[in-house]
Amino acid sequence: MDTTLLLDALRRAHLADPDPDAPIRIDRLRRLETALQAWESRLVAAIHADFGHRSAAESGLFDITLPIADIRFARRSLRRWMRPRRVAVPAYLQPAKALLRPQPLGVVGIIAPWNFPVYLTAGPLAMVLAAGNRAMVKPSELTPATADVLNALLTETFAPDEVACVTGGPDVAANVAALPFDHLVFTGSTAVGRKVAEAAARNLTPVTLELGGKSPAILAASADPQRAARRIAWGKLANAGQICIAPDYALVHRPLIGPFVDSLAEAMRRMLPEGAASADYGAIVSDRHRTRLESLLAEAEAAGARVIRPVGAAPGPGLRRMAPAIVLDPPPDLRLMQEEIFGPILPVIAYDSRDEALARVADGPRPLALYLFAEAAEDRQAWIARSLAGGMAVNDTLLHVACNGLPFGGVGASGTGSWHGEDGFRRFSHMKPVLIQSRLNGGFLMEPPFSGWKARALR
């Protein structure tokens, strides 16, 4: 598969119709939506096969319902988003008009990860199409069955010069990242994101990088430990912790540690009635990932940290369903506290003062998400104002990503830009500034010779 030829075809098609109108864009969005619905059972089965186990309910929610919600939101909002925006004109240019006119960029590359293999392909694709572009999509090689189904779905739904799909491993991905796209969207790890940014820079291709990191969940002094435990347990158990915005670790006001950890264990037991073998609990994506997670735990135990496993393991050596673990006060130099965990392990760390917790978060790379549990307005205001993270949810986890009106993305090492909602539409459009001069103001004030009244007026 020659990606340069694919890009050429996409680019030629774009140049033949560089500004598709709203009905064309809405038709593309509808086709994508209808295809996701029609292919749902095949997609869900492929995800299940790739992971070794993932419930239809979980895949349906995250990989089908979420992108469809994004597509519908884009369809409904598109005409408004496409409208040129009038901009105020200074007195010396009046009565000229000024406006910002969204224009498609051209061809956008999309490189996707494995953890939500459909959502993180179809979601950005929807916004790229809403903005009137064409796309080349590269799903993750770690979910090969899903990549094949996605490939078939996209081939059936779109002409090859509307949306092209390329499958393969890191070599193919690196090759895609080196193509001279008009924009490149990458969702994945910070380490690979750095390589993608380097490759794109050579073509001066602008990038949207949706990366990872360690997203803290903070229990302020005013937190309700039971409420916090329930939402943090859910955020950590969903997709077995393999979510870019899963709460990575909990920072807990010291007096709340006991009730929080008890409630957390209880919430996990309630959500996983059959332990790690519970039907709604997903597997770890590969043996390599499972081994990495086990070694993080082994290192923590060797360093003397207490590890609590609230539910039993899943039977069967071949199954990659890992029982969740809570690790109490692990030393900060452990890999567990340095790397993004991306699995069902929750370190719990006590702190004594808000300033100490704020400093601890600020000392690390900027997180993708920050979760604050606080009942007092004063705690909320302090954390909202003084912490810096890609996004934030108060008294909940994960759900800010499902709020269509909010952009979603990282800051610093957790990423740059956002493909969600109107922000995504603008990101994949060139918001072209246009000045339309009036007959009544020919600009002659600025034409030489600058003598007499002109010289005085220009001063």
- Interacting residue ranges for ligand NAD, rule: CB under 6 A: 111-115, 120, 138, 140-142, 169-170, 173-174, 177, 187-189, 192, 195-196, 210-212, 244, 340, 342, 368, 410, 415
Nearer to ligand NAD, 111 or 163 (CB): 111
* Shortest distance (Å) from residue 348 CB to ligand NAD: 21
Minimum CB separation from ligand NAD for residue 190, in Å?
6
Handedness of CA 369, 370, 375, 377 (dihedral sign): negative
CA separation for the pair 362, 359 (Å, rounded): 5
Cβ atoms of 93 and 387 closer than 8 Å = no
Of the residues 58, 162, 210, 422, only one is catalytic, namely 210
The full DSSP string for 238-277 is GGGG--TTS--EEEEEGGGHHHHHHHHHHHHHHH-TTGGG
> Which residues, listed in sequence order, are joined to residue 308 by a DSSP beta bridge?
326
For the bound state, the minimum distance from the C-beta of residue 11 to ligand NAD, rounded and expressed in Å, comes to 20
Known catalytic residue at 403: no
How are beta strands 216-219 and 369-373 bridged, if at all? parallel
443 φ/ψ sector (left φ>0, alpha ψ -120 to 50, else beta): left
**Nearest residue to ligand NAD, scored by beta-carbon proximity:** 212
- Which CB atom, from 120 or from 389, has the smaller least distance to ligand NAD? 120
Helix (H) or strand (E) holding 97: strand 97-104
Shortest CB 196 distance to ligand NAD, Å: 5
Tokens of 45: 């089965």
Largest CA distance in the chain: 93
Nearer residue to ligand NAD within complex by CB, 192 or 389:
192
Side by side, the strands of the sheet bearing 249-253 are: 306-308, 325-328, 345-351, 249-253, 216-219, 369-373, 391-394
Beta-bridge mates of residue 186: 111, 209
Q: Which is nearer to ligand NAD, 110 or 228 (CB)?
A: 110
Q: Least distance from C-beta 110 to ligand NAD, angstroms?
A: 10
Is residue 422 annotated as part of the catalytic site, yes or no?
no
Pairwise CA distance, residues 183 & 426, whole Å: 12
40, 58, 162, 244: the active-site residue: 244
Q: Select 208 or 263, whichever has its Cβ closest to ligand NAD.
A: 208
**Cis amide prior to 95 (ω within 30 degrees):** yes
Residue 244 to residues 48, 238, 343: CA-CA distances in angstroms? 19, 11, 10
Residue with Cβ nearer ligand NAD (121 or 263): 121
Work out how close the CB of 5 gets to ligand NAD at its nearest, in angstroms, rounded to a whole number. 19
Active site residues: 210, 244
